[in-house]
Copies of this chain bind each other. A is one copy, B any other.
Amino acid sequence: MRRVKAGVLRKFTASVFEAAGTPEDIAETVSNMLVKANLCGVDSHGVIRITEYIGEMDRGQYKVKERPKIIKEKGGIGIVDGRWGFGQITGIMAMELAMKKAKTHGIGAVIAKRTNHIGRVADYTELAIKNKMIGFGLTNGGVAVAPWQGKDGLLGTNPISYGIPAWRGDPIVMDYATSVSSYGKIDIYRSKGKELPNGWVQDKEGNPSNDPGFFSKGGTILTFGGYKGYGLNLVVESLGGALLGEGVSDEFVGQNGTYMQAIDVEHFIPFAKFGKDIDKLVTKMRKSRPAPGYTEVLVPGDPERRAFAERSKAGIELNDAIWEMTMKTAKRFGVEEPETV
């Protein structure tokens, strides 16, 4: 295990992407977002992705110099073409366009096609929060998840995120896979050689499994909350696949089929009134009594905020497997190992 300060890790990450031909501003944005994921405790979406992205460049999936373009803008909606550049840049453009639409029309919705991995969906709904808007985002991709009661891998882990802005207190930031676990989280278990918790995955025959290597053996991830998460998963296939014209299920031809939506609160109610109610909601939850076996009640976004505060001070831990994989990648581009603490 190594520990690296966020600033150092950011510089390191940007250097690798730049050395691989990425324009400086893009490398910086992507690096900020990956390291932010680590800071937030979401290691599955952190610098573990450097090697994956570089691999995608090797096989021509990433066009590192490409920038997204708005190809349609009408009323409250928009369409962005990601042009297979970094998905993060496309995601930002999509949410910014959705917010622009919301500013004028009260609500805006933007889809982004030909989009590579966008990272944490919360990064975009947090953009909406910063602008006093309610953000919603989702992204489709992969076939690691089985439909409810099924055993075939036909669906993506298909995350969704809601961002609800508050007045003076912390906002509500919900962000999760509609499967029990994201694929990235499972990867973390695999990289540590740890068994998966019960109820996450099944083997290729549809029997319960704890094997972190289930996927290469034909296994599948379950949807969260049974048929309820399954329903939401299909919504992501629809809004992040069919609506884009990139297909659905195992015929989806995109990487991260993305839908971003913003609601401008002020069109409905003065923001102060709304925000104060959200402050109240958050406070009520946190001050409520925990059930037996728990010591506190949280709101969505609290675990990430805590990790962020702690890791901003102490640095980011990277386990040996991730460290070695990443340094091997960096070495290819002549980028030196980051300083550890």
Where the two chains meet, the residues of A that have a C-beta atom closer than 8 Å to any C-beta of B are 74-77, 79, 101, 104-109, 111, 134, 146-152, 154, 162, 164, 172, 174, 176, 202, 205-207, 224-232, 234-235, 237-239, 241-245, 247-251, 261, 263, 265, 267-269, 273-274, 277-278, 280-281, 284-285, 288-292, 294, 296-300
* Nearest Cβ on chain B to A244's Cβ, whole angstroms: 7
Which one, B149, B162, B245, contacts A269 given CB within 8 A?
A: B245
Known contacts A107-B108, A268-B77; A176 and B231 CB within 8 A of each other? yes
CA distance A174 to B229 in the complex (A): 10
Q: With A245-B273, A247-B280 given, name 8 new contacts (CB 8 A).
A: A79-B268, A107-B108, A149-B291, A174-B235, A176-B228, A176-B231, A234-B299, A249-B281
The 27 listed contacts between A and B (C-beta, < 8 Å) are: A74-B106, A77-B106, A77-B107, A148-B297, A148-B298, A149-B296, A150-B289, A150-B294, A151-B291, A151-B292, A152-B288, A154-B285, A162-B232, A164-B234, A172-B234, A174-B232, A174-B234, A176-B227, A225-B228, A231-B300, A234-B300, A238-B281, A242-B274, A244-B268, A245-B269, A248-B281, A249-B281
CA distance A291 to B151 in the complex (A): 5
Closest to A297 in B: B150
Closest to A234 in B: B172
Closest to A103 in B: B75
Helix, strand, loop or mixed for chain A's interface?
mixed
Copies of this chain, whole number: 2
**A106 CB contacts on chain B under 8 angstroms:** 74-77, 109
CA distance A248 to B288 in the complex (A): 14
CA distance A101 to B267 in the complex (A): 14
CA distance A132 to B79 in the complex (A): 19
CA distance A285 to B54 in the complex (A): 34
Closest to A288 in B: B152
Would you call A300 and B164 a contact (CB within 8 A)?
A: no
**A172 CB contacts on chain B under 8 angstroms:** 231, 234-235, 238
* Nearest Cβ on chain B to A263's Cβ, whole angstroms: 6
Closest to A285 in B: B147
**A273 CB contacts on chain B under 8 angstroms:** 245
CA distance A154 to B288 in the complex (A): 9
Known contacts A107-B107, A234-B174, A291-B146; A154 and B284 CB within 8 A of each other? yes
Closest to A278 in B: B242
Closest to A223 in B: B225
